[in-house]
Amino acid sequence: MDSLAFSFRAPLTSSLSEEQRKQLCGLLGNVELTLLYKASVHGYNASAFHQRCDRQGPTLLVAYNLSGYIFGGYTSVDYAQSGREITDEKAFLFRVQCVAPLCIKVNSGHYARLDDAQGPNFGQQLFFCYKNQPVVYHQGREGFNPARVNAFSFSPATLYGNDTQLIECEVYKVEQRSILSEPQVKEKPWRNVLWTAERRDELMELIRNYKPMMTSISRVRILMIGPVGAGKSSFFNSINSVFMGRMTSKAMSGSAGTSLTTQFRTYPVKDGREGKPLPFVLCDTMGLEEQSGAGLDIDDISSILQGHVPDRYKFNPMAPFQPDEQKASRPASLQEKIHCVVYVIDATKISLMSSKLEEKLIAIRRKVNSLGIPQIILMTKVDEACPLDLQSLYVSSYIKTKVQEVSSRLGVPVSCVLPVKNYSQELELELNCDVLLLNAIQQMLNFADDYLDDVGPVKDKPK
C-alpha cells in the first residue's frame, strides 16, 4: 500500500504515555510537542521522513525498540537536506526512564548531526531508520577520523540496551510556549510560596529571632558540600547580601578548573552593617572532584562534621586533616559540630553528573547519616536550567523533574530538595530571589533544630 496515501486517512497518535511526554517536556522547558512523523504509519523511509520533518524548526526524535527502551535525540536546527554538518549546542540524546530521563548533551564544539538526505542521525554516530529499515545503527569510533572527538559520549548499552530493532520511530515538532501567552490555564504550583515583600520580611524576622533548640548553642553550623563551581560560596554571599541589604562578595566565587575555595571557612552572617550576628554560621568547603586525591576528601568532611577543623584551615587533597593530638583526644563540643549538611548541586549539571562523583556523594551521605545529621540538597542555578520568572519556578514541570532526578541520584527525599537562584551578576537585590534564599535558610534552621532535639541532653533544652 502507498504509505503516503495511507497516512492521510490514519489519525496520528503518539505512542508516548502522558508520563513519558512529561519527562521529555521536562528536558525541553515549557514546550508543546506536535507529532509530525510516525514510522509505522509513514514508513521507515528517509524521503517520507524528510517530507514531513524538513523545515519544521526544532524537533525531537523518539524511537522505541523491542526491549522496551524509549530513546532518541533533540535538535534545535531544521532538517533541510543541506549536506552540511550542523553545529547545535542545544542538541542532546535521551532515554526515558522510570523516574527521570537520562540526558546526554552534545560535547561542546562538535557538530551535532549531518544534515543529509538520509534518515535522521545524531553526530553521525547514531542513525535512525538506517538504510530505510526499522533499525538504529551505531557507528563507533572506528568509523571516524581518529582526530575527531565524538559529538556525543554514550554507550549503546545504556541508551538502548544494545537492541537495534525498532518497533516505532516518531518525530515531534517542538515549540516553545510563551509563559505570557498562556495565562488562561494557570497550573497549580507543586509547592506554595508567597512571593511578597511581607513574606520576605516575615522570613527575615523569623530567622533573626530563631533560637537553637539548646541553650548552650548560640549559632547552628550549616556545612555546604558540593562539586566545584556548584555555587557554595555564592550561596553564602547571597544570604549575606540579603541581610546586608546590598550585594556582597565576601567569599571568593567564580569559575576555575579546580575549586576556587581552598580553605575551610566558617562565615557568620550579620544582620545589617551594625547588626548582631545571626543565629547560624555557614561553613564553606572546597569543591568535590570525581578523581580520588583531588578536591575535598571524605576524611576531611568527617573531621569537619565532628568539629575538629578550624576556620581557615587550608585543604590539602593529598593529605587529609590531622587534628592535633591534644585536641583529638577530647571530643569537640556540640557547638563546634555540624548541625545540618547541605549538598549544593548545580541544576544544569544533574544529568551530567558522573557516576564517580555520584559515588563520592553517596559515600559522604553514608557518613553523614551515620552521625544522624540532617541533610538538604540546595539545587542552584535554576535560572540557567530553565530561564523563567522565578515566580513560575514551582509551576515548571522541568524544575520538578530536576528536583526528582537529584533526589533519586543522591537518595535524599524530594521534600528536602530546595531550588534556589544565587545572586551572580545582579547589582541589586530582587524580591523573588530573596524569598527563595530565605526559605532555604529557614528550612536549614528547622532541620538543625530537629538534630539538636534528637542529640541534646534533656536538661539543656528550654522548658
For binding to ligand GTP (CB under 6 A), which residues are involved? 226, 228-234, 253-255, 259-261, 286-287, 344, 380-381, 383-384, 421-422, 424
Nearest one of 359, 292, 388, 351 to 153, comparing CA atoms: 351
Q: Between vectors from CA 397 to CA 396 and to CA 398, what angle results, nearest 5°?
A: 90
The partner in contact with residue 52, picked from ligand GTP, Mg ion, none with C-beta cut-offs of 5 to 8 angstroms by kind, is none
Q: Between vectors from CA 265 to CA 225 and to CA 446, what angle results, nearest 5°?
A: 55
State the residue for C-alpha cell 572546597: 286
Smaller CB separation from Mg ion, 184 or 255:
255
Residue type, 70: I
Return the number of other C-beta atoms located less than 10 Å from residue 114's C-beta. Answer: 17
Smaller CB separation from ligand GTP, 75 or 422:
422
Least distance between Mg ion and beta carbon 233 (Å): 3
Smaller CB separation from ligand GTP, 392 or 424:
424
Name the 3-class secondary structure at 281: strand
The partner in contact with residue 351, picked from Mg ion, ligand GTP, none with C-beta cut-offs of 5 to 8 angstroms by kind, is none
Q: Which stretch binds Mg ion (CB under 5 A): 114-122, 227-235, 320-328, 409-417?
A: 227-235
Least distance between Mg ion and beta carbon 262 (Å): 9
Least distance between Mg ion and beta carbon 223 (Å): 13
Under the binding rule (CB under 5 A), the answer on residue 422 touching Mg ion is: no
The partner in contact with residue 229, picked from Mg ion, ligand GTP, none with C-beta cut-offs of 5 to 8 angstroms by kind, is ligand GTP
Least distance between ligand GTP and beta carbon 83 (Å): 38
Smaller CB separation from ligand GTP, 228 or 377:
228
Among all residues, whose Cβ is closest to ligand GTP? 287
Nearest one of 205, 248, 198 to 429, comparing CA atoms: 248
Smaller CB separation from Mg ion, 233 or 238:
233
The partner in contact with residue 234, picked from ligand GTP, Mg ion, none with C-beta cut-offs of 5 to 8 angstroms by kind, is ligand GTP
Residue 117 backbone dihedrals phi, psi, to 5 degrees = -90, 0
Least distance between ligand GTP and beta carbon 144 (Å): 34
The partner in contact with residue 230, picked from Mg ion, ligand GTP, none with C-beta cut-offs of 5 to 8 angstroms by kind, is ligand GTP
Return the bridge partners of 70, or none.
Answer: 64
Nearest one of 280, 375, 298 to 335, comparing CA atoms: 280
How many helices (H) and strands (E) the chain has is answered by 13, 18
Smaller CB separation from ligand GTP, 64 or 236:
236
Name the 3-class secondary structure at 259: coil
Residue 122 backbone dihedrals phi, psi, to 5 degrees = -120, 120
Smaller CB separation from Mg ion, 96 or 228:
228
Look up residue 314 and give its three cell numbers: 587550608
Map the footprint of Mg ion across residues 256-275, applying CB under 5 A: 261
Site string for Mg ion, 112-151 (x = CB under 5 A): ----------------------------------------
Smaller CB separation from ligand GTP, 40 or 348:
348
Look up residue 461 and give its three cell numbers: 533544652
Smaller CB separation from Mg ion, 227 or 419:
227
Say if CB 232 and CB 226 are below 8 A apart.
yes
Look up residue 318 and give its three cell numbers: 593529598
Least distance between ligand GTP and beta carbon 260 (Å): 4
Could you give the C-alpha distances from 463 to 208, 214, 446, in angstroms and in order? Answer: 21, 10, 18
The partner in contact with residue 384, picked from Mg ion, ligand GTP, none with C-beta cut-offs of 5 to 8 angstroms by kind, is ligand GTP
Under the binding rule (CB under 5 A), the answer on residue 233 touching Mg ion is: yes
- Residue-level length of the chain: 463
Alpha helices in 33-138 (DSSP H): 39-42, 46-53
Residue type, 359: E
Smaller CB separation from ligand GTP, 38 or 221:
221
Least distance between ligand GTP and beta carbon 396 (Å): 15
Least distance between Mg ion and beta carbon 288 (Å): 11
The partner in contact with residue 124, picked from ligand GTP, Mg ion, none with C-beta cut-offs of 5 to 8 angstroms by kind, is none
Under the binding rule (CB under 5 A), the answer on residue 285 touching Mg ion is: no
Contacts 24+ apart (CB under 8 A), 359-367: 360/288, 360/290, 360/298, 361/288, 361/410, 362/410, 362/411, 363/298, 364/225, 364/298, 364/301, 365/410, 365/411, 365/412, 367/298, 367/301, 367/302, 367/305
Residues engaged in binding Mg ion (CB under 5 A): 232-233, 261
